[in-house]
Amino acid sequence: MKLSRRRSLRSADGGGSVDSRPIGMFDSGIGGLTVLHECLLAHPHEDFIYLGDTGRFPYGSRSIDELKAYAYQIASHLVGQDIKLLVVACNSATAAALPWLQEHMETAIIGAVHPGAEAAVQTTRSRRLGVMATVATVESGSYPRAVHGLDAGIRVFCQPCPDLASMIQNGDVFSREVVDAVSSYTEPLRQAGVDTVILGSTHYPLAAPMIQRALGKEVALVNSAEEIAREVGEVLERKDIDNNPGRQGDISFFCTGDVESFTEVGARFLQMPLDDVGKVELSELERIVLA
């Protein structure tokens, strides 16, 4: 479905404004649908445009320069749809590009790292915190920086999970291969004695029950998707850009790869039909360069 451009309107009684522009959101694939799900629960009256960069998935093994270029291209494309807020629902893109992206964009931007880090700091009691993330996110050091910016005394144990997001992206969340991968990735965190683990990829909540079993029920999992949705609400309220709370929002889906695959896997994970998924050609995005 195609969203038309909308502008802020003053309410009839003159008290406050209604901003009917959509919220833009992007991820390397279908993982960001976990963020969209939480946002739909928390903000059902808002419109969303979701773009999955499936044509260039995965992001976790990309260089910082590549991720900056991808993030800028997609952000520019979404800003061109007259969005009021941009959610980078991808930890790898956030880790590599968020501060840089915020410098080059006028639209307010929320990333995927800080909300999860803040929730984890509030959750941990032993001050021994684990992070499961892609190689790119771990190598960026973004989670330790975010955590230590809030509490310098917390020990952070980062565990790279090189192929877990790809397994989930393919819809393969119940196979023996995924079980073995989760067991392997969680064991170092168990040995480290962490009491809280950040799911540092928006794909990972789709395998949360399996991860919880591997870590044990005494370990708290921090789902960044829930925290991002909370921060979205805070930004909407602070900037006074909420939509009319009495309406039902619309969602537009786009991807850069195979539409049929995105529609099938996305519908299974979001548990709702993804109608009229649009295709954004990579050639169109790659024409966007930083001036």
What was the pLDDT predicted at 211? 97
Give the residue from 27, 20, 15 showing the smallest Cα distance to 85: 20
What was the pLDDT predicted at 16? 60
For the whole model, what pTM was predicted?
0.89
Please state, in angstroms and rounded to a whole number, the distance separating the CA atoms of residues 143 and 105: 23
pLDDT in tens, 211-238: 999 999 999 999 988 889 999 999 999 9
What DSSP assignment string belongs to 172-187?
--SSHHHHHHHHHHHH
Query: For residue 40, what are the contacts with CB-CB under 8 A and spacing of at least 6?
Result: 48, 249, 251
What was the pLDDT predicted at 268? 87
What was the pLDDT predicted at 269? 85
- Provide the 8-state DSSP code for 128: E
What was the pLDDT predicted at 8? 46
Compute CA distances 284 → 64, 73, 74, 105, 289, whole Å. Answer: 21, 9, 10, 19, 11
Give the residue from 25, 2, 9 showing the smallest Cα distance to 242: 9
Please state, in angstroms and rounded to a whole number, the distance separating the CA atoms of residues 6 and 192: 51
pLDDT in tens, 3-30: 434 444 444 444 568 999 999 999 999 9
Q: CA gyration radius for the chain?
A: 19
What was the pLDDT predicted at 3? 40
What was the pLDDT predicted at 291? 64
The first and second tokens of residue 50, run together, are: 């979701």
Q: Which residue has the tokens 């969203």?
A: 3
Per residue of the chain (291 residues), give pLDDT as tens: 334 344 444 444 445 689 999 999 999 999 999 999 999 999 999 999 999 999 999 999 899 999 999 999 999 999 999 999 999 999 999 999 999 999 999 999 999 999 999 999 999 999 999 999 999 999 999 999 999 999 999 999 999 999 999 999 887 788 899 999 999 999 999 999 999 999 999 999 989 999 999 999 999 999 988 889 999 999 999 999 999 999 999 999 999 999 999 999 999 889 899 989 999 999 999 999 976
The angle, 0 to 180 degrees and rounded to 10, between the axes of the packed helices 142-150 and 91-104 is: 70
For 25, phi then psi, to 5°, come to: -150, 135
Domains and CATH numbers, the chain: 8-111+227-286 (3.40.50.1860), 114-224 (3.40.50.1860)
